[in-house]
Amino acid sequence: RVPLLQAARKKKSLNLLELTEAELEEQFVRGDGPGGQATNKTNNCIVLKHIPSGIVVKCHQTRSAEQNRKLAREILQEKVDLFYKGEASDVFKEKKASEKKKQEKKRRAKENLERKRHLKEMQQLDEK
C-alpha cells in the first residue's frame, strides 16, 4: 500500500479540492542544503500550512520565491485532496497506476533476462 500523503506531486490532476487563501498560512524562511551564500542569505523557501487539516508543505525547489509559492500551493492542494478523499482521489489513482506500470516493466525485464539466460545455456549445450 502507498502511504497517502507520499502519493502527492506526481501528475497534474484536474479534479482536486479548491483551497482558499483564508485557509492558508504562509511563511518565507531561509532555505537549507547546498547553495552556499545564495541559499543562506535569502528567504525564498516557502512554508505553507493548511489550517483546517494541519498539513504543512515546505518548498525550496527553485531560487525564485514566486515560483516556490506556486509549487507549494500545487503540492499542498494535492496533499489536501489526498487527505480528504483518500483512495478515491485522482492523485492516489495515478500513483497506483504508475506503480502498476513500473511493476509490469520490471516483470517483463526479468522474463527477458531469463529467456536470454536460457538461450545462452542452449547454445552452450549445442557447442558441446
pTM: predicted TM-score of the whole model, two decimal places:
0.64
State the burial class of residue 124 (Cβ atoms within 10 Å of its Cβ: 0-12, 13-18, 19+).
exposed
**3-class secondary structure for 49-87?**
EECCCCEEEEECCCCCHHHHHHHHHHHHHHHHHHHHHHH
User: 8 falls in which pLDDT band (50, 70, 90)?
Assistant: low
Q: Look at residue 48 and tell me whether its pLDDT is greater than 90.
A: yes
Contacts from 54-61 at CB under 8 Å and sequence distance 24+? 55/5, 55/79, 55/80, 55/83, 60/31, 60/32, 60/33
Give per-residue pLDDT as tens, 55-111.
999 999 888 889 999 999 989 988 888 888 888 888 888 888 999 999 999 999 999
Mean pLDDT value across the chain: 84
